[in-house]
Amino acid sequence: MLINKFSQKTAPLFENFLAYSRQGIGAFHMPGHRGGRGCEPLFRSLGGELLHLDLTELRGANLDQEPDFLLKKAEKLAAEAFGAQRTYFLVNGASIGIMAAFLSIKGSAPEVLVARDCHLSVINGLILSGLKPIFLSPVWVEGLSCLPSEEEIQNALQEYPEVAGVFLTNPGYHGIYGPLKKIAALCHERKVPLLLDEAHGGHLKYINPAAEEGSTVDADLWVWGTHKMMGSLTQTGMLHLGSNFQDLNAVEEALELLNSTSPSYLLLSSLDSTRRQLYFNGQKMFTRAAELGESIRDKIRGLQGLKLVDDRFLPAGYGIDPTKIVLSLTPAGWSGIKAEEVLRKRFHVQPEYADRDYLYFFISYAQEKEEVTALIQALSSLAAEIGPDQIKRKDATPPPWACKPLQLSPREAAERSATCLPFQEAVGEIASGWVAAYPPGIPLWVPGEEITIEMVEWIRAFQRMGGYLRGIKEGKVKIIDY
């Protein structure tokens, strides 16, 4: 049935495209697989009716209106549901929203304040926009980088009053979030746009109504990776604008520049449907996820050989998302990387990520109880076993990021002629590219930054442990060729 009334109870884009696809209208348009008929049989048999939804803009499905009529309606419902002035659906991950954020503020000043624990998409946004970052040092919690302090931001705004914006990541990949309200007030007072990478957030308000998020502090712009925790399909996200954001055209032009001209209506439908699900069931979904997370924490907290990152390590005002579990088995002699391999191969349990020290588990509202039990058993076994790594480290150490002014902006560095050098020989050189473990995709160095001996040693140690880094090809990294 076609929907032409728009309320939170409807998912107009999803439902109208589904209704259209069921009408049996002969298709002489893209995509070429014709509702899956043309796909390889195995792929077709797995796709079922979802393949019928793999469409792009069609006037018929859009109630005979302009091609993005239903997309705009669906985005308007999302803006209402999530407390934004305007919301844009993203089909190329939170990454594209972050890049668009930088493009939309370029021009007002040459520099931007950026929390150093930023994702690679931030570096890409800086290259595209030409903005030069002034890096803000994070607050460190047990070797994990978190939202910079209010004082750090205040000092930076005093030193650099003419910046195009303040860009922060909150919560981090690890789920630790910080106090945003006072930071937002500082930015509002100085009329500096506050832009947030909330790729791992958005759901916190369902768990803790006091958690300070983009919508509750009226940030100027915040980006969600909706697919990460909130249930929409992979690659989907949302970009939200707060009530102060003036230049909607700049955001729309940036998204147009970066987006495909054939966005997947399957992915957009998933966002529309997820908005409805969150609106009516968000509280229930995330209460369940948080309870599962807490039940795991309760069972593993006292285990010898295991260190759980929890509230007792956090500074005042910081919190940890109960649906993210970060722990270390180094007291039992397991590096995060080795423990991940054993968990997967021996116990059939796959964490989200592992690094030198930590294992990261994301707990979903859709998690089965049996999976949770299996995880607790696996962790209990590993914590009781002596691991091979003999590191016995008590404390995780932060990676050796430099928070010094860059020699060149990331765009200037990316535009210079480059050469490749074995990473061991790159000390003292200016990077032309970046190096990062992925996930979480926080660069060890960025284009325009000097490569230090500490960074090279960190790479050596990480690789010795079996860790994989992007940005290193056949042992070489890209540097500027002076």
Ligand X SMILES: Cc1ncc(COP(=O)(O)O)c(C=O)c1O
- Binding residue (CB under 6 A) for ligand X from 12, 35, 36, 93: 93
User: In terms of CB distance, is 125 or 447 closer to ligand X?
Assistant: 125
Please choose, out of 72-80, 256-264, 280-288, 435-443, the segment that lies near ligand X by the rule CB under 6 A. 435-443
If binding is defined by CB under 6 A, does position 352 make contact with ligand X?
no
Please, which residues bridge with residue 114 across strands? 135, 167
CB of 260 to ligand X, least distance (A): 14
Q: Which of 419, 393, 399, 89 is nearest to 266 (CA)?
A: 89
Size, binding site for ligand X by CB under 6 A = 16
Site for ligand X contains 197 (CB under 6 A): yes
Measured between alpha carbons, how far apart are the two ends of the chain, in Å?
A: 65
Contact between residue 318 and residue 142 where contact means Cβ atoms under 8 Å apart: no
To ligand X, the closest distance from the beta carbon of 169 in angstroms equals 5
Per DSSP, which regions of 391-470 are E strands? 418-422, 435-437, 443-445, 469-470
User: Other CB atoms closer than 10 Å to residue 177's CB: what's the count?
Assistant: 26
- Note whether 125 binds ligand X by CB under 6 A: no
Residue nearest to ligand X (CB): 93
DSSP string covering 340-399? HHHHHHHH----SEE-SSEEEEEPPTT--HHHHHHHHHHHHHHHHSPPSS----SS----
- Residue among 441, 443, 447, 471 that touches ligand X (CB under 6 A): 441
Task: By CB under 6 A, tell whether 199 contacts ligand X.
Answer: yes
Kindly write out the interface string for residues 98-117 of this chain, putting x where it contacts ligand X by CB under 6 A and - elsewhere.
Answer: x-------------------
Single out the segment in contact with ligand X by CB under 6 A; choices: 146-154, 193-201, 204-212, 452-460.
193-201
Q: Is residue 62 a contact point for ligand X (CB under 6 A)?
A: no
Provide, rounded to whole angstroms, the least separation between the CB of residue 66 and ligand X. 28
Is residue 138 a contact residue for ligand X (CB under 6 A)? no
Beta strands, E only, 138-229: 139-141, 144-146, 166-169, 176-177, 194-198, 221-224
Q: Given the DSSP bridges, would you call strands 132-136 and 111-115 parallel, antiparallel or unpaired? A: parallel
- C-alpha 448/C-alpha 220 separation (Å) is 28
Nearer to ligand X, 52 or 275 (CB): 275
For position 175 contacting ligand X by CB under 6 A, the verdict is no
From 19-27, 74-82, 404-412, 433-441, give the range in contact with ligand X by CB under 6 A: 433-441
Q: Pick out residues in 221-250 that bind ligand X (CB under 6 A).
A: 225, 237
Smallest distance from ligand X to CB 126, Å: 14
Binding of ligand X at residue 121 (CB under 6 A)?
yes
Q: What does the buried/exposed string (b/e) look like for 141-173 if buried means 16 or more CB atoms within 10 Å of the residue's CB?
A: bbbbbbbbbbebbeebbeeeeebbbbbbbbbbb
Report whether 11 contacts 74 (CB < 8 A): yes
Among 52, 73, 86, 119, binds ligand X (CB under 6 A): 119
- What's the closest the beta carbon of residue 117 comes to ligand X, in angstroms? 8
| β-pairing verdict for 111-115 and 166-169 | parallel
> Taking a C-beta distance cutoff of 8 angstroms, is the pair 180, 170 a contact?
yes
Tokens of 150: 């209010």
- Interface positions with ligand X (CB under 6 A): 93-95, 98, 119, 121, 169, 173, 197, 199-200, 225, 237, 439-441
